[in-house]
Structure 1
Amino acid sequence: MARKRPNILFIMADDHAAKSISAYGHGINHTPNLDRIAKEGMLFNHCYVTNSICTPSRASILTGTYNHVNGVMTLDSKINKYMPNVAKHLRSGAGRYQTAMIGKWHLGEGKSCEPSGFDYWEVVPGQGEYHDPEFITPEGIHREKGYATDIITDKSLSWIANRDPNRPFFLMCHHKAPHRSWECDDKHKHLYQEPIKLPDTFTDDYKNRANAAKVAKMRVADDMTYKDLGLVQPDGGEDKVGEKMWDGARKIPNPEDVSSLRLIDADTGEVFRFTSGQQLAEFKFQRYMQRYLRTIQSIDDNVGRILDMLDADPELAKNTIVIYTSDQGFFLGEHGWFDKRFMYEESFQMPLMVRYPAEITPGTVCNDLVSNVDFAPTWLDYANTPIPSYMQGISFRSLLSSTDKVLTWPVQVVYHRYWMHRDIIHEAYSHYGCRDQRYKLIYWYNEGFGIEGTREGGQDREWELFDCKEDPLELFNVYGGARYREMVARMTRLLERKMEDIGDEPVHETGLFDEAKSKL
């Protein structure tokens, strides 16, 4: 007798760094409910995003394709609603899944890009709001009172409770949190008062890496705004109150005489003064981490609510795959940064935990490499629904069901492409590359900055190679090192083959790969 098709519950946060889930062991915060998924299922240490920005990542998850195929290549891209996706296959396949999308969509607004393949959908417009958020439905837009994470969970629980119990379901529950500007629920404002340890690379000088790392404008010390940190933004010009950002918020200035700076808590009116630039930078870091982690606390609480509902019905719990992830990673002060956008590990790595009692041994850990394009094929595999030929990912169901600690999965090269050529907010340069179990190769092609093919302050094209075993913090680019000549050529060949395999075209000058190979 064929096994019953499982329910699939996909919970995704926005910008949730793996380090801020306590199951990953970094000691930054405590997330007991998220940890339940890992404790009762499998935790992945090497799940990677194909493009570390919200919209493209979501498109790859939904379609199982890379962004040059699904056409969603920048933050402003819109998905074509007529494109095939995993929800459509599940709903129309032999399993006749009930499908729902609730929460953050972020793949465009309007009839041409609204959620499709879903029996039910209710999504927030754009980035959404933390407090009293609006929701878009097929019937129109309405606003609801409350905190976004609670409301999205309420709607998800209600949909599960009112489903047809005779058919399997597929639910995408997408949270806004912990996206910038990190506005927590009032009940969590007291949390994380004790100082959080600064990352070892907080004062990174970027001297041994590509110029792209040096010029990026996403430093905690220099590029956070009053709004980011919940501080009063005074009136005045740039010299007095800081550079204006794209949304009108201003960056907190770093005056030469920091004793002249007075920052005020927007809620309590508490006044903060400083005696050194280092003290100011560390204040910004602590304030950032408090706000970020408090929004995660609400996610953890609400994941607990969902797990409790499932566990109240043992048969439902046994037959439901619960997945928790984020649309990409996030910098928590590593290399002095916040935000994402880079192929460096903290941004590139997605948290991934999966619970499925029918197949997954509790407490298992996977160190093989998987990617977000692999999600859709995996779900179809579990649903006993044919994986369509257009999908470019690979089902990793065999990893989930394996109790063998030896790497039995073929080492998969993970590919990344950053398509937004000019990021006017963060000056994050365009790049692509690949990673295997030990090495990471990155090619910075940097188009769209000033004169085509050049940029101020450095070379116009750069390569990086990191030995992730000997240099896990990614501080030393060894691309030009004599010891790594053979590895440069091997990783370049891997990248070349992967690009051919997925039908992508390189944007480098002819002969650059040949130049890399000639280093042998």
Structure 2
Amino acid sequence: MRNFLLLILVITACTPKASNEELTDSARPNILFIMADDHAQKAISAYGGGLIETPNIDRLAQEGALFENSFVTNSICAPSRAVMLTGKFSHINGKRDNLDVFDASQPMFPKLLQREGYETALIGKWHLKSTPQGFDDWKILIDQGDYYTPEFVTNTDTFQQEGYVTDIITDYVLDFLKGRKKQKPFCLFYHHKAPHRNWMPDLEDLKMFAEEDLPVPPTFFDDYEGREAAATAEMRIADMFLSMDMKLHPENYEVENGKGGNDRFDAESAWKGSYNRMTDAQKAAWDAHYDTINAAFANANLSGKELALWKYQRYMKDYLRCIKSVDDNVGRVLDYLDESGLAENTLVVYTSDQGFYLGEHGWYDKRFMYEQSFRTPLLMRLPGTVSPGLRVQELVQNIDYAPTFLDFARVDIPNDYQGLSLKSLLTQQPVDWREALYYHYYEYPDGWHKVKRHYGVRTDRYKLIHFYHDIDTWELYDLQKDPDELNNLYGIDAYAEVQHRLHQKLKELRTQYGDS
């Protein structure tokens, strides 16, 4: 017996042991961070919008979690991306608006993952006016990028790639997944341009909705009564450019009379440049679809409400067609994860940099703290950890993404992060969660669309907003009774106690987040 025990000890001592790093890497999930640009919640069928079917994005809701109350901190492209990278509000990370240059040398969660053994990559849209840091590999669009024959930048090269941008970005993502370092977990940013303005669909999707009219939101002809900032904003679909937005050519109209949110912008030249990025074959396919529509418009001589409604249909069909391509390509990547065996240990996240107006209040674009642009889609899947079909009701925000990724990767979350890890919500563990959200938008008077600066607080039922700079107005909404936010209740006696409580909560949050 004694000799047998000695033999066991010898065998145990001689058996190679896995290193702590190997054990950790085998347990830590890969992270696939998918982000679209300007993807409204209601344009995902899992959210019940009824506008379009998105079966591939819906898979993440069916096989994982959908966040019912997901929001941003600053509803505009580049600042939202900076918030996600840093886990901090715009006034802390320094990227308040699209005009600021983001300081990529500051701490960001990809750097922490990289330091802890993750292979990190960024493919698609960066849009932060600086060179990416914290990524082993990156291939990014220049600024907004182009839908056809887009130009890409790497750390060694700048080049054009013929084709459609959503397909191309996905091709590069699949190339990374197939060629990645197998011994390391990865964090891959798969960031689309679409469905950002000017909404140029893939040629194979042009026939979608061709024979139908899309439903018009009941607030499309909003008069903005009691909402001064809404009344002065320049985001109306009725004012969209005939050229760049509607994709009409000069022969289809007498004069470009759209303001497009920036009457100094040369929309006709911009549209000509976008159109000419297509090859001759692509132009032929494009013209075969649009020329008849454009000629009918030229003969119709529309004005007033009729013109606004025509623009709405043209805008919405092209917007949704762009989303069809995003969904198709997300499906390509999800299929590869399944086929390669990566799906079982990959946290897949789908979101947008913010929401978007799809005709509500007569608008397109984002920026406001009103629901359609304040909300953003958020879906997460991790088999074996996140229960299929989970619906998360808590108030979450894009400052929560960075701590969530670090938490799942078993990396310490920095003390100065202002967001909360969503892991406890995803694993349905008891947690003392936030009761209110803070928001702050800055891009005025510079930039596009003339949306006033504002900040505010939102609870599960109420919202208080302060517009400032060259205006000083307050708005209060009861979202339960007025989900469209048409009736400003600020100063109404019946809501005096609610107003007082919201002012107190707003003061607390501004102090908590250091924004006073």
Interval containing the TM-score (normalised by the shorter chain): 0.7 to 0.9
1:392 paired residue among 413, 418, 425:
418
How far residue 434 of structure 1 moved from its aligned partner, in angstroms, is 1.1
What's 2:64 paired with?
41
2:336 match: secondary structure: helix
1:371 paired residue among 397, 411, 414:
397
1:292 match: secondary structure: helix
Asked whether 1:308 is paired with 2:331, we answer no
Q: Is the 8 A contact 1:46 1:370 kept in 2?
A: yes
Asked whether 1:337 is paired with 2:363, we answer yes
What's 2:103 paired with?
80
Q: Is the 8 A contact 2:54 2:324 kept in 1?
A: yes
Aligned equivalents of 1:355 and 1:213: distance in 2?
A: 37
Aligned equivalents of 2:386 and 2:36: distance in 1?
A: 23
Which aligned pairs between 1:275-314 and structure 2 lie closer than 5 A?
Answer: 277-314=304-341
Q: Is the 8 A contact 2:41 2:49 kept in 1?
A: no
Aligned equivalents of 1:234 and 1:434: distance in 2?
A: 48
2:500 paired residue among 484, 489, 495:
489
Aligned equivalents of 1:307 and 1:13: distance in 2?
A: 16
Asked whether 1:270 is paired with 2:295, we answer yes
What's 1:477 paired with?
488
Aligned equivalents of 2:237 and 2:371: distance in 1?
A: 18
Asked whether 1:51 is paired with 2:74, we answer yes
1:122 paired residue among 139, 154, 170:
139
Taking a change above 3 Å as real, the CA distance of residues 275 and 136 of structure 1, as seen in their structure-2 partners, is: closer
Give the residue type in structure 2 aligned to 1:434.
V
1:443 match: secondary structure: strand
2:474 match: secondary structure: strand
What's 2:379 paired with?
353
Q: Is the 8 A contact 1:217 1:223 kept in 2?
A: no
Structure number with the higher helix fraction is 2
Aligned equivalents of 2:79 and 2:503: distance in 1?
A: 24
2:247 match: secondary structure: coil
2:69 match: secondary structure: strand
Asked whether 1:103 is paired with 2:124, we answer yes
Aligned equivalents of 2:402 and 2:241: distance in 1?
A: 36
Give the residue type in structure 1 aligned to 2:306.
Q
Q: Is the 8 A contact 1:55 1:74 kept in 2?
A: yes
Which aligned pairs between 1:41-190 and structure 2 lie closer than 5 A?
Answer: 41-93=64-116, 96-108=117-129, 113-190=130-207
What's 2:442 paired with?
419
Aligned equivalents of 1:49 and 1:153: distance in 2?
A: 25
Q: Is the 8 A contact 2:166 2:325 kept in 1?
A: yes
Q: Name the stretch that deviates more: 414-423 or 336-345.
A: 414-423
How far residue 276 of structure 1 moved from its aligned partner, in angstroms, is 5.7
Aligned equivalents of 1:242 and 1:399: distance in 2?
A: 46
How far residue 245 of structure 1 moved from its aligned partner, in angstroms, is 3.1
Aligned equivalents of 1:225 and 1:275: distance in 2?
A: 12
1:30 paired residue among 26, 38, 53:
53
Aligned equivalents of 1:195 and 1:236: distance in 2?
A: 23
Which aligned pairs between 1:320-335 and structure 2 lie closer than 5 A?
Answer: 320-335=346-361
Gap runs ≥5 in structure 2: 1-22, 270-287
Q: Is the 8 A contact 1:235 1:241 kept in 2?
A: no
Taking a change above 3 Å as real, the CA distance of residues 103 and 242 of structure 1, as seen in their structure-2 partners, is: closer
Q: Name the stretch that deviates more: 412-421 or 116-125.
A: 412-421
Aligned equivalents of 1:187 and 1:224: distance in 2?
A: 25
Q: Is the 8 A contact 1:115 1:121 kept in 2?
A: yes
Aligned equivalents of 1:136 and 1:297: distance in 2?
A: 26
What's 1:466 paired with?
477
Listed one character per residue, the Cα deviations across residues 1-42 of structure 1 (whole Å, up to 9, x for unaligned) are: 877000000000000001000111111011111111111111
Listed one character per residue, the Cα deviations across residues 343-401 of structure 1 (whole Å, up to 9, x for unaligned) are: 00001001011111121111111111100011000000000000011211110111111
Give the residue type in structure 2 aligned to 1:371.
Q
Aligned equivalents of 2:514 and 2:350: distance in 1?
A: 30
1:298 match: secondary structure: helix
Aligned equivalents of 2:162 and 2:222: distance in 1?
A: 43
1:312 match: secondary structure: helix
Give the residue type in structure 2 aligned to 1:5.
R
Q: Is the 8 A contact 1:33 1:300 kept in 2?
A: yes
Q: Is the 8 A contact 1:318 1:356 kept in 2?
A: yes
How far residue 278 of structure 1 moved from its aligned partner, in angstroms, is 2.2
- Which protein has the larger Cα radius of gyration, Structure 1 or Structure 2? 2
Aligned equivalents of 2:397 and 2:231: distance in 1?
A: 28
Count of aligned residue pairs for this structure pair: 469
Q: Name the stretch that deviates more: 319-328 or 224-233.
A: 224-233
How far residue 222 of structure 1 moved from its aligned partner, in angstroms, is 2.4
Taking a change above 3 Å as real, the CA distance of residues 308 and 84 of structure 1, as seen in their structure-2 partners, is: same
Identity of aligned residues (%): 47
Listed one character per residue, the Cα deviations across residues 297-318 of structure 1 (whole Å, up to 9, x for unaligned) are: 110000000000001134x111
What's 1:513 paired with?
none
2:351 match: secondary structure: strand
Q: Is the 8 A contact 1:56 1:72 kept in 2?
A: yes
Q: Is the 8 A contact 2:386 2:427 kept in 1?
A: yes
1:271 match: secondary structure: helix
Give the residue type in structure 2 aligned to 1:372.
N
Q: Is the 8 A contact 1:242 1:250 kept in 2?
A: no
Give the residue type in structure 1 aligned to 2:48.
G
How far residue 225 of structure 1 moved from its aligned partner, in angstroms, is 3.5
Aligned equivalents of 1:472 and 1:188: distance in 2?
A: 33
Gap runs ≥5 in structure 1: 252-263, 448-452, 454-459, 506-520
Listed one character per residue, the Cα deviations across residues 140-171 of structure 1 (whole Å, up to 9, x for unaligned) are: 21111111001111111111111112211000
Asked whether 1:200 is paired with 2:218, we answer yes
Listed one character per residue, the Cα deviations across residues 154-212 of structure 1 (whole Å, up to 9, x for unaligned) are: 1111111111122110001110000000001100100112111100111111113x200
Aligned equivalents of 1:13 and 1:136: distance in 2?
A: 19
Listed one character per residue, the Cα deviations across residues 281-329 of structure 1 (whole Å, up to 9, x for unaligned) are: 1111100001100111110000000000001134x11100000000000
How far residue 265 of structure 1 moved from its aligned partner, in angstroms, is 8.3
Aligned equivalents of 1:375 and 1:182: distance in 2?
A: 27
Aligned equivalents of 2:223 and 2:258: distance in 1?
A: 23
Q: Is the 8 A contact 1:325 1:350 kept in 2?
A: yes
Give the aligned CA root-mean-square deviation in angstroms: 2.0
